[in-house]
């Protein structure tokens, strides 16, 4: 007997996705805009942006992964998972502010990398985002299948297919605008349900008496670390790998960058702070369900950790609250899956079609079609991989470590004028190779080679701490913190870290990319002008609309017959434009970028993005 019957399940799914789709109808534009499809208008307010950021981070996979951490590592498991994830949201704020100030008109980080370095760096970041987003979509579809398999008469496969189709329908309709607007409604439903469900399960399972008995059972079973709030096992096996993984998520994940480039510049800080607290409270609370499951001795169905939360619901919740949990989890996974789909669409639209396939002749209608086809392909890929039923926690840590190779090169590209395209590309590729060797033990981790990898891991730990301190306090404290961390960790890591391949691989990824990037960039004597980046960024639809208003054909602007005419895309204030060839701004055709000079219409009270911070990079 399943907790939810066939009719109830169908009605809940139809109601959820029907209401979600009706919401998107309110924002569908008669005249579609490629720019809005990718990043809305760049002036999204605090309410929508903060709820969207929170909902994107508080996703179904985070529920399931936090519960798995609690079940495997005890009380400190969900704390490590939620706390480090929350702190990374907060710590990434200063970097996000810098990204936005340098490239206020950007759609994707990869697009900015193209403007900063060129095609190879852009493609590396774009491909990594594609891989990461597909893995993220896979994790969400896996969570959906597990939920429907446990709570309803339908199979895992049916659950994956139905949820994928429901999310795809409303996301394809309006792209990023749909993701942001529906995130707000989904977050309200999700957090409201969590506030009720967590205490109900707690008291139904036995309340305080169950906690006391559960803690005693941890000691009696020979696992005292599970009762420790500061468990070293939990930190080394799960907390530390996830810490470095979520820093990479914040930098490498296009869903975060999309919201960064969409929110009003004067609302960036409040958005990140709100998301920090929303994420921590919700994820730690739901992760404690895994701890409760371990205390009462619950065994997950089929031995699959992804079934923990649905199993707890069936065991301790009445029918009405099971339905509420069902909607909560579907809403949380939908809020992230639609963000990943729109992120993938913006990557393919801007970074692949706009930069490489269009060859300066961007057609917004074709761009929109490509974006929608990308969403469909991403959903299909996510469905196929979800059928493999991967462990969600392992997926999240793996993709985070994979992105770790990008963190230092990406951040350095926005601050260090010596940074080069070769340094970016080579450091990322070499770091990925070393990560795979360490993570999957492709060579024996013994003797000299193990020591080498542990030294590189110490460098990685120094890079993580140094970057965080640098972002919050400044360059000199960042260098000092990184140096102290390296000296402190080196004797601890040697002979010890080789036994923790997940953490070793994650830190090696950071360390190798940092060392190689610095070594190659130091050879460069030319200093980059950061003010050029935004001039090279594409605002496709706005440019074409402006040209149409002037009665010109955008595709004719590059023809020889138009020589002597004003540059296409010239700024309304008479500033320099970009026409694919040299102009007074110093941007030449080698940049490979399309026209990107029209100003976005933003809130008049907002601080203009890009007015500060464009000359803060190291000039040495």
Running DSSP on this structure, what letter comes out for residue 562?
G
Q: Is the pLDDT of residue 591 over 50?
A: no
pLDDT band at 8 (very low <50, low <70, confident <90, very high): very high
Q: Measured between alpha carbons, how far is 119 from 55 in angstroms, rounded to an integer?
A: 32
User: pLDDT tens digit string along 104-153?
Assistant: 877 667 778 878 888 788 788 878 878 878 888 888 898 889 889 999 99
9 Ramachandran zone, left/alpha/beta (phi>0; psi -120 to 50): alpha
Please give the residue that has the higher pLDDT: either 212 or 541. 212
Taking residues 188-204, report their average pLDDT.
83
pLDDT at 260 > cutoff 90:
no
Return d(Cα 238, Cα 503) in angstroms, integer.
Answer: 8
> Please, which pLDDT band fits residue 84 given cuts at 50, 70 and 90?
confident
CA distances from 557 to 361, 535, 541 (A): 10, 18, 16
User: Which of 442, 397, 29, 62 is closest to 244 using CA atoms?
Assistant: 397
CA 28 from centroid of its chain's CA atoms: 25
Which of residues 398 and 564 earns the better pLDDT score? 398
Output DSSP code: residue 263: B
Which residue bears the tokens 């400044």? 474
What is 6-404's CATH number, 3.60.110.10, 3.40.50.12500, 1.20.1730.10, 3.40.50.300? 1.20.1730.10
Mean pLDDT over residues 13-19, rounded? 89
Predicted local confidence at residue 514, as pLDDT = 96
pLDDT band of residue 584 (cuts 50, 70, 90) is very low
According to the model, what pLDDT value does residue 162 have?
94
Q: What confidence tier does 575 reach under pLDDT thresholds 50, 70, 90?
A: very low
Are 263 and 87 contacting, i.e. CB atoms less than 8 angstroms apart?
no
CA dihedral 348, 354, 355, 356 (to 10 degrees): 80
pLDDT of residue 185: 66
Would you tell me the crossing angle of helices 119-151 and 364-386 to the nearest 10 degrees? 50
Token code pair at residue 231: 């468990």
Q: What is the pLDDT of residue 605?
A: 39
For the chain, helix (H) and strand (E) counts, in that order, are 24, 0
Arithmetic mean of pLDDT, 66-77: 90
The two tokens of residue 505 are 């691989």
156, pLDDT greater than 80: yes
Residue 24 CB neighbours (<10 A)? 21
Closest Cα partner for 144 from 380, 335, 389, 333?
A: 333
Question: How many other C-beta atoms are found inside a 10 Å radius of the C-beta of residue 130?
Answer: 21
pLDDT at 176 over 70: no
Stretch 564-591: mean pLDDT, rounded? 36
Predicted pLDDT at 43? 54
* Cβ atoms 372, 347 nearer than 8 A: no
Residue 373: how many other CB atoms lie within 10 Å: 13
Centroid of chain to Cα 297? 34
User: What integer pLDDT is reported at residue 26 of this predicted model?
Assistant: 65
From its phi and psi, is residue 362 left (phi > 0), alpha (psi between -120 and 50) or beta?
beta
State the Cα–Cα distance between residues 469 and 488, nearest whole angstrom. Answer: 16
R_g of the chain, CA atoms, integer Å = 25
Query: What integer is the mean pLDDT of 601-607?
Result: 37
Write down the domain spans for the chain. 6-404, 418-521
pLDDT confidence bin for 429, thresholds 50/70/90? very high
Q: Which of 580, 586, 573, 567 is nearest to 529 (CA)?
A: 586
Average pLDDT over all residues of the chain: 77
User: Residue 550: pLDDT above 50?
Assistant: no
pLDDT in tens, 339-385: 788 778 877 877 677 766 776 676 777 887 888 898 899 999 999 98
pLDDT per residue over 478-536, tens digit each? 999 999 999 999 999 999 999 988 889 989 999 999 999 999 999 998 899 898 888 77
Q: Which one is predicted more confidently, 546 or 126?
A: 126
pLDDT at 165: 93
Give percent above pLDDT 70 in the chain. 74
How many degrees, rounded to 5, is the angle at CA 225 between CA 224 and CA 230? 135
Residues 6+ positions from 72 with CB-CB distance below 8 Å: 238, 290, 305
* Cα distance between residue 95 and residue 86, in whole Å: 16
Token duo for residue 609: 């993005």
Instruction: Provide the pLDDT confidence category of residue 539 given band limits of 50, 70 and 90.
Output: low
| pLDDT value at residue 121 | 82
Q: How far is CA 372 from CA 136, 147, 358, 376, in A?
A: 18, 27, 17, 6
**What are the beta bridge partners of residue 263?**
44
């Amino acid at each position: 007997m399943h907790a939810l019957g066939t009719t109830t399940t169908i009605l809940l799914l139809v109601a959820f996705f029907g209401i979600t789709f009706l919401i998107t109808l309110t924002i569908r534009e008669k005249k579609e805009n490629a720019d809005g499809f990718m990043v809305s208008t760049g002036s999204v307010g605090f309410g929508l942006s903060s709820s969207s950021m929170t909902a994107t981070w508080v996703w179904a996979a985070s529920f399931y992964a936090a519960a798995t951490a609690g079940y495997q590592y005890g009380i400190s498991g969900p704390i490590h998972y939620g706390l480090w994830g929350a702190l990374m949201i907060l710590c990434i704020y200063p970097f996000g502010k810098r990204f936005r100030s340098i490239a206020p008109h950007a759609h994707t980080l990869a697009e900015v990398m193209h403007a900063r370095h060129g095609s190879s760096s852009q493609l590396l970041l774009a491909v990594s985002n594609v891989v990461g987003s597909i893995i993220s979509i896979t994790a969400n579809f896996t969570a959906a299948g597990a939920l429907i398999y446990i709570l309803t008469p339908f199979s895992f496969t049916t659950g994956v297919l139905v949820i994928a189709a429901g999310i795809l329908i409303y996301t394809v309709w309006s792209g990023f605008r749909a993701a942001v607007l529906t995130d707000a409604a989904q977050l309200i439903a999700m957090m409201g349900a969590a506030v009720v469900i967590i205490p109900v399960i707690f008291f139904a399972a036995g309340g305080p008496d169950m906690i006391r008995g559960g803690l005693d059972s941890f000691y009696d079973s020979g696992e005292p670390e599970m009762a420790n709030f500061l468990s070293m096992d939990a930190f080394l096996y799960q907390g530390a790998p996830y810490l470095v993984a979520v820093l990479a998520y914040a930098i490498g994940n296009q869903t975060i960058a999309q919201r960064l480039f969409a929110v009003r510049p004067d609302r960036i800080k409040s958005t990140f702070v709100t998301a920090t607290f929303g994420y921590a409270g919700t994820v730690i609370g739901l992760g404690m369900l895994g701890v409760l499951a371990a205390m009462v001795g619950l065994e997950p169905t089929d031995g699959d950790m992804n079934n923990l939360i649905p199993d707890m619901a069936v065991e301790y919740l009445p029918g009405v609250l099971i339905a509420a949990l069902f909607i909560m989890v579907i809403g949380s996974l939908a809020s992230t899956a639609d963000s990943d789909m729109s992120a993938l669409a913006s990557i393919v639209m801007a970074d692949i079609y706009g930069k490489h396939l269009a060859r300066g002749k961007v057609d917004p209608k074709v761009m929109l079609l490509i974006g929608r086809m990308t969403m469909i392909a991403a959903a299909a890929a996510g469905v196929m991989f979800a059928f493999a039923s991967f462990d969600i926690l392992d997926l999240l840590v793996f993709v985070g470590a994979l992105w770790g190779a990008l963190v230092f090169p990406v951040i350095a590209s926005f601050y260090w004028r010596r940074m080069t395209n070769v340094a970016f590309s080579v450091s990322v590729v070499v770091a990925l190779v070393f990560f795979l060797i360490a993570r999957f033990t492709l060579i024996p981790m013994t003797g000299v080679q193990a020591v080498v990898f542990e030294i590189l891991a110490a460098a990685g730990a120094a890079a993580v701490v140094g970057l965080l301190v640098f972002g919050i306090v400044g360059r000199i404290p960042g260098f000092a913190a990184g140096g102290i961390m390296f000296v402190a960790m080196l004797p601890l890591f040697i002979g010890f870290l080789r036994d923790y391949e997940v953490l070793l691989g994650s830190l090696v990824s950071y360390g190798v990319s940092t060392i190689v990037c610095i070594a190659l960039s130091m050879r460069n004597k030319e200093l980059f002008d950061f003010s050029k980046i935004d001039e090279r960024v594409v605002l496709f639809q706005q440019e074409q609309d402006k040209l149409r208003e002037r009665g010109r054909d955008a595709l004719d602007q590059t023809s020889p017959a138009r020589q002597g005419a004003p540059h296409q895309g010239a700024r309304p204030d008479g500033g320099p434009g970009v026409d694919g060839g040299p102009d007074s701004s110093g941007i030449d055709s080698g940049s490979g970028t399309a026209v990107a000079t029209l100003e976005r219409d933003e809130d008049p009270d907002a601080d203009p993005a890009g007015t500060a911070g464009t000359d803060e990079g190291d000039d040495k």
